[in-house]
Amino acid sequence: MNTTVIELTAEKPQPAVPSAKLLKPLTGAEALMQALVEEGVETIFGYPGGAIMPVYDALYDYQDRLNHILVRHEQGAAHAAEGYARVTGRAGVCLVTSGPGATNLVTGIADALIDSTPMVCLVGQVAMKLLGTDAFQETDVIGVTMPITKWNYQITSADEIPEIIAKAFYLAQSGRPGPVVIDITKNAQVELMTKSFHYKKCERVSTYRPRLIPKQDQVEKAAELINKAKKPYMLVGHGVLISKAEKELLAFVEKTGIPVATTLLGQSALSDDHPLYTGWLGMHGNYGSNVMTNQCDLLIGIGMRFDDRVTGNAELFARQAKVVHIEIDPAEIDKVIKADAPVIGDVKEVLNRLMPLVNENDHTAWRNEFRKYDDIEEEKVTQPALAPTTEKIKMAEAINLLSKKTNGEAVMVADVGQHQMMTSAYYEFKKPHSLVTSGGLGTMGFALPAAFGAKVGDPSREVIAIIGDGCFQMTLQELGTIAQNKLPVKIIILNNNYLGMVRQWQQLFFERRYSFVELQNPDFITIAKGFGIVGHTCAKREDLSASLDTLLASETPYLLEIIVEQEENVFPMVPAGTSVADIRLE
Amino acid sequence: MNTYTICIFTENTIGLLNRITIIFTRRRINIESLTVSETERMGVSRFTIVIKHDSREAVEKLVRQIRKIIEVMAVFGYLNDEIVSNEIALFKIATPLGSKPLDIEYINKNFNAWVVYWQLDYVVIEKTGSEKQIFEFFSYIKPHGILEFVRSGRVAVGKTEKGLVEYLPEYEWEYYL
């Protein structure tokens, strides 16, 4: 009953293997390999198993064209694919077996969906005639992943492979990107195609039409509000980076003179040292950046979705302001915050069309209104954090020093918790696509695999993972992947022997009843050594600088454990469910 | 609480019903009735889903989420006064020897219902109409002894002049007729 929905282009396929060989019928597994090559895939993160073995057998002959990285757990493959996608903008690819192989991907898939990360997961499945029989390692992967994928599909015959793989990559990478799961039954992997292999990249799906070019009237209405505003304020999200619109953003900001804040995932879209950059938004964002959302007269949300960690209590958020919402996904408009002027389209296309319509402006006086909050934050939060009198090192000073030593140019891969917030707050990002972190889902254990995924994606950049002692123990098996593939990822564990963020909440909101947050940790350096990764522990402030130098100078993967203040809290903080105006500094 | 009728045009593929209903489940919206069948265009299915909700805004958000499904072509949401709708119901009525006779003519005239099948001990009566009309007939026929009763769920067309399929993205459609 399936209808053909892919419009194929007339473009000639360029086979990577001699065309004579392609004239012979390929098996499904060979077709899959060939399709990946034609799609331009370079790296696969995967783990073999029963129902995917025909594909792994075909991969044996494709090792020169497809770089397969054997992870230690499928969750690692998913996060690595995310890390890869976040620095390259191309879909990360996972290859796993059926049943547990597939279910182990689930956390990563959910993470990729909520953070709009392109990913294609190729999953083995039992043979078609065994479907529904509770066969060995059979799980209803289509059913399981339905709510957490942009699209999923079960391939049951070899002939479907080229077309479906092309569609998978197109859907994962176009519009608002997201994860796609392709479940491939074993018979489809082993059987021969009944037609010759023919690959055409998918460029259009008839039932799916993401709007890239905005409607002109929407752009004009937004421009009118922007030109009229006395106190406009721009909130920049992940969409700007996905759209690769950093240059357009910079030009727009400099022409209009509008102060800019970023969301957590929008970090690095504008250089942190830009005079119009006010800081970042959200539960642990900057004081002024948060408070001013409730004082501006126009809020321009761009490539962002007004997450509750950004708005606090949404009913008390920016009530005084008109809202321009620039977004590619129409379902985000009015979802949380009502937009007076929605503009649906790709951020880059929207900015290009807004540019000629907006007036040159200078909002220095308004920008300066942020300064008083900056000064208070500097005095109450930043200074004490950066020049501490505590015996132990503080997270903030470690990140700040790292920022200086790397000139703000590294790719920071932050895990989830206090160290993540500290990385966002104290690393001064100078280059775009430099913060890779699990924003929407808050997946502990994300950073270690995402870091080597990012390193594979862009080997030219220094990739530094900032990980808490709790997070590290969720995916530390991936040290094996890093060692085996000699991926020079720099790993910093900020060890406070606590699940720090939960402890902070228990301290502030649960009367210091520290319920199961204290960790008896292993010797991380010995563990790393066991995997063949060198490292050392830094426990004293006077050793910090030299320790970071050692880490950065290493040409091999390196683990630096920094023992930090045990009960350090992250401030500013907008307590959950309150207004951003109720932000706490201590 | 208002009743909303949501019409969804989709590709006719495996698993789509599931993909659509989980969007309702996640928002804790109960489905009052649901019908699906292929339209006059080959490979295009039409879902008619009836829900009750007190917030129009929530229903609009729901509709936008359904639109995001790749295989979904178009989604329309309606209040009751914006559509012409009907249901079909089948009643299996006991007619044992000596029971109160069924007045078929009266049923025809007053309820616009028809006997579509009969056996010695029972008849099957078909009744089309609104939910209200069907339940009116239900009350009338109940004393005769209802052995089995089923409603189809709502089918509906919008009151706008244009047919909804006209709003679908252009495509090389194949028609059944």
Q: How far is A150 from chain B (nearest CA, A)?
A: 7
Whether residues B67 and B7 fall in one domain: yes
Q: Tell me how many domains chain B contains.
A: 2
One of 3.10.129.10, 3.40.30.10, 3.40.50.1220, 2.60.260.20 is the CATH number of A216-371, namely 3.40.50.1220
Chain A residues with beta carbon closer than 8 angstroms to that of B70: 150-151, 171, 205, 207-208
* Residue carrying structure tokens 């899959």: A32
Chain A residues with beta carbon closer than 8 angstroms to that of B72: 207
Whether residues B79 and B160 fall in one domain: yes
Closest CA relative to residue A521, chosen from A539, A550, A538, A496: A496
| Residue B174 covered by a domain | no
A545 Cβ under 8 Å from any chain B Cβ:
no
| Residue B109 covered by a domain | yes
Does the annotation mark A501 as catalytic?
yes
Q: How many CA atoms lie within 13 A of A138 on its CB side?
A: 13
The predicted structure's pLDDT at residue B161: 74
Whether residues B25 and B69 fall in one domain: yes
CB-based burial, A219-256: b 16+ in 10 Å, e otherwise: bbbbbebbeebebbbbbbbbbbbbbebbebbbebbeeb
Whether residues B95 and B49 fall in one domain: no
Kindly list the domain boundaries of chain A, sorted by start residue: 19-190, 216-371, 391-564
- Give yes or no on whether A19-190 and A216-371 have one common fold: yes
Tokens of A273: 């040292």
Q: Are strands B44-53 and B146-151 parallel, antiparallel or unpaired?
A: unpaired
The predicted structure's pLDDT at residue B101: 86
Whether residues B60 and B90 fall in one domain: no
- The answer to whether A446 and A438 have CB atoms below 8 angstroms apart is yes
In the CATH hierarchy, which fold is given to the domain comprising A391-564?
A: Rossmann fold (3.40.50)
Q: Residue B34's domain is classified under what CATH number? A: 3.30.70.260
| Residue B177 covered by a domain | no
- Quickly state the pLDDT bin for B160 (edges 50, 70, 90): confident
One of 3.30.360.10, 3.90.120.10, 3.40.50.300, 3.40.50.970 is the CATH number of A19-190, namely 3.40.50.970
A81 pLDDT more than 90: yes
Whether residues B108 and B142 fall in one domain: yes
A308-353 pLDDT per residue, tens: 999 999 999 999 999 999 999 999 999 999 999 999 999 999 999 9
CB contact under 8 A, B68 and A209: no
DSSP-H helix ranges across A510-564: 524-530, 541-553
Interfacial A residues in 170-199 facing B (CB < 8 Å)? 171
Average pLDDT over residues B148-157: 95
Chain B residues with beta carbon closer than 8 angstroms to that of A147: 22, 26
Neighbouring CB atoms inside 10 A of A460's CB total: 5
Helix axis angle, A161-173 to A28-39, nearest 10°: 40
DSSP A177: -
Whether residues B112 and B91 fall in one domain: yes
Catalytic pick from A38, A74, A332, A478? A74
Chain A residues with beta carbon closer than 8 angstroms to that of B14: 1-2, 154
A206 Cβ under 8 Å from any chain B Cβ:
yes
Residue B72 has its nearest CB partner, among A171, A207, A335, at A207
Q: Residue B138's domain is classified under what CATH number? A: 3.30.70.1150
Tokens of A297: 């007269």
- The answer to whether A77 and A94 have CB atoms below 8 angstroms apart is yes
Whether residues B7 and B72 fall in one domain: yes
- The answer to whether A45 and A120 have CB atoms below 8 angstroms apart is no
The whole-model pTM stands at 0.93
Whether residues B33 and B97 fall in one domain: no
DSSP A79: H
Instruction: Print the domain residue range for B59.
Output: 2-83+156-167
| Residue B176 covered by a domain | no
Catalytic pick from A137, A477, A507, A566? A137
Whether residues B108 and B66 fall in one domain: no
Average pLDDT over residues B117-137: 94
The end-to-end CA distance of chain A, in Å, is 62
Residue A147 has its nearest CB partner, among B22, B67, B70, at B22
Interfacial B residues in 5-34 facing A (CB < 8 Å)? 10-15, 18-19, 22, 26
The predicted structure's pLDDT at residue A426: 97
The predicted structure's pLDDT at residue B176: 52
ipTM: 0.90
| Residue B172 covered by a domain | no
- Quickly state the pLDDT bin for B98 (edges 50, 70, 90): confident
Q: Are strands A260-262 and A232-236 parallel, antiparallel or unpaired?
A: parallel
Whether residues B98 and B146 fall in one domain: yes
User: For A2-6, A279-283, A295-299, which range has the lowest pLDDT when averaged over its residues?
Assistant: A2-6
Residue A3 has its nearest CB partner, among B11, B57, B60, at B11
Does the annotation mark A429 as catalytic?
no
Backbone dihedral angles phi then psi of residue A409, each to the nearest 5 degrees: -110, 5
A17-26 pLDDT per residue, tens: 555 455 679 9
CB contact under 8 A, A1 and B15: no
